[in-house]
A and B are shown apart, each in its own frame.
Chain A
């Protein structure tokens, strides 16, 4: 079983995002194993990009901080190799196509496999352009995570049928960032996916409170939280470990309530 599949095995997954190198590589390196211990079932590591068009202001600013501290793709690969010695949690890179393409897509995916990355999320590679990366991912054994959005509608079946690892379900229009309310009909979106695929569905964009995480995972298999964590990192900088882990524990507890409920139901 892959590490990604394990993250969703018999449970609702809590997925945590952190921008690699924010505020510096050392902080991220120390943070990731602790995040896993605090309850993150899968961790997305953002490779910072100068122009992240799918991100709201919180992650845009994290990317700027990370790049300013000298973070590069190579330094993040080295960091992941060291982190992999300490944790078995599923690790996924989230970045944009240009850093991957410029690195050499084949070389990038091979390097991912070598250091212990399990999958990649590239928001500016939609279904239509998947051939840009798909073959290289398959050859290296890296799972290419597909995305669906509130606008996808009749495209959902087509995308879900080919999805690997897990399916990233974008909860809202616009960019990443904390939202007070998520208005998309998530249940319907997930149901569409389940009609054609067993791939786990994780909801991202806008989730920040335990209540939201609980609500989102009523239908979905996991909740993804990015900006809310990055905000804590921005506030506490190098001292973010404790407040980030406290937050993750709280979120994981909310998501795990479903697991308890499930057990009771089966009992």
Chain B
């Protein structure tokens, strides 16, 4: 909550990056401090969010799901209805607008599932920026359509073949690229991670999710939620949904991590359940790693949660007990994906399905006058082929 020291959340955060990049992050920080309270910047961003991205997103009362589970009332925050189909657009419009103000002409970004890449390519197309996206080779194979989508939007996609060829390697490669070209380029980081000021900037651009939840629920129910549930990879949609409620101790905040084949199986990405404190990707936080600090190859059915770390503010929320983090397996997530599709006619992203899965466990244990808000961070169209494969159904996309 309160930042004790620049870029720190308790013990966590910091700026652990090579000297070459320090002036670049300082430049971003100065620009952000200048524009964040600039009425003109805020108006431009507000216009983009409302007239282009479709905000505010709906807060939908999932009546059938509520009845079916027989406990707390369930509301779904529909970030899946945003332009480009996920919460990623909130951050990207902010950062690309900032890049424009900084006089940059080129943006680069990492992507896992492709949602952040698609959002960045979209904003770059809209604001006339060159755009290059780094994506693990394994993910370009898993998410072929999103790759083509980025190219349609005018971006160049670089498949990353180093390391485990997933999201962490895409981050490595984007950092390397940024270190070689900073003059005209901004690294548009996709989550509340990396060196300061990124965890702060991304959280600020995402906190609109929680602010809207508060307003919309006050209107619908006249009270605050009892629990807010969101999936966590790096943790941007969760931080966006949580942030406005940190000051309300009655609101339980629950992050759902990807447990892959199970927390006891090596094939998982449950950083809080299995990780330990480390320093990587510019930040001190929790990471899945071995006893010598080698970053572990992680696994999840969800390319967007397939990341061995978590944002530093989440690490602090966990340590202070303000938020809880729970592991959800592939199996539970896939079942939740299918459940929400059938019960509510909403196909959630496989990432968001991790949050839906936990809501299915939690709701029946709560009284009917309690309220749960589940952040549906993205839509599931991109995952249909993967879910079919998981179920052994052969389809050709």
Interfacial residues, chain A to chain B (CB-CB below 8 A) = 49-51, 53-54, 56-57, 60, 67, 72-74, 96-103, 123-129, 132, 147-153, 155, 159, 170, 173-175
Contact = CB atoms under 8 A, between A and B. Distances in A.
B182 A173 contact: yes
Interface of B: 14-24, 162-163, 168-169, 172, 175-176, 179-182, 276-282, 284, 287, 289, 291-295
B279 A152 contact: no
B18 A152 contact: no
Given A99-B293, A175-B176, A151 B24 contact: yes
5 contacts: A50-B295, A73-B292, A127-B19, A151-B21, A155-B19
Q: Is the interface of B mostly helix, strand, loop or mixed?
A: mixed
Contacts of A53: 17-18, 172, 175-176, 281
A46 to B, nearest CB: 14
B182 A98 contact: no
B179 A175 contact: yes
* Complex A-B, nearest 6 residue pairs according to Cβ-Cβ distance, in ascending order: A102-B293, A174-B180, A149-B20, A98-B293, A99-B293, A97-B279
A101 B279 contact: yes
A100 B280 CA distance: 11
Given A54-B20, A99-B293, A101-B279, 11 more contacts: A51-B168, A53-B18, A72-B292, A98-B278, A98-B279, A101-B278, A124-B279, A132-B16, A151-B24, A173-B180, A173-B181
A48 B179 CA distance: 21
B19 A152 contact: yes
B289 A102 contact: yes
Nearest to A56: B176
Contacts of B278: 98, 101-102
Contact of A50 (B179, B181, B294): B294
Contacts of A57: 162
B15 A173 contact: no
Given A101-B279, A175-B180, A127 B293 contact: no
B330 to A, nearest CB: 24
Contact of B162 (A60, A102, A132, A170): A60
A147 B181 CA distance: 19
A102 B19 contact: no
Nearest to A105: B279
A125 B276 CA distance: 19
Nearest to A67: B294
Nearest to A159: B19
Contact of B15 (A73, A126, A155): A126
A129 B182 CA distance: 21
B17 A124 contact: yes
Contacts of B168: 51
The listed residue with most B CB atoms (<10 A of its CB), out of A53, A57, A126, is: A53
Nearest to A100: B293
Given A51-B172, A98-B279, A102-B278, A150 B20 contact: yes
The listed residue with most A CB atoms (<10 A of its CB), out of B281, B284, B294, is: B294
Contacts of A170: 18-20
Contact of B276 (A102, A147, A150): A102
B18 A49 contact: no
B16 A125 contact: yes
B23 A128 contact: no
A161 to B, nearest CB: 15
A148 B292 contact: no
Given A49-B294, A151-B24, A152-B23, A54 B182 contact: no
Contacts of B21: 151
A173 B180 CA distance: 5
A151 to B, nearest CB: 4
Given A50-B163, A98-B280, A102-B276, A147 B294 contact: no
B19 A98 contact: no
Contact of A173 (B14, B179, B292): B179
B321 to A, nearest CB: 24
Given A97-B279, A129-B14, A173 B20 contact: yes
A127 B22 contact: yes
Given A53-B175, A174-B179, A98 B295 contact: yes
Contacts of A50: 163, 294-295
Nearest to B7: A128
Nearest to B196: A128
Nearest to A71: B292
B195 to A, nearest CB: 9
A65 to B, nearest CB: 13
A60 B24 CA distance: 24
Given A51-B163, A73-B292, A151 B20 contact: yes
Nearest to A75: B292
A121 B294 CA distance: 18
Contacts of B24: 151
Contacts of B277: 101
B24 to A, nearest CB: 7
Contacts of B163: 50-51
Nearest to A99: B293
A72 B162 CA distance: 20
A155 B22 contact: yes
A72 B15 CA distance: 26
A151 B23 contact: yes
A79 to B, nearest CB: 15
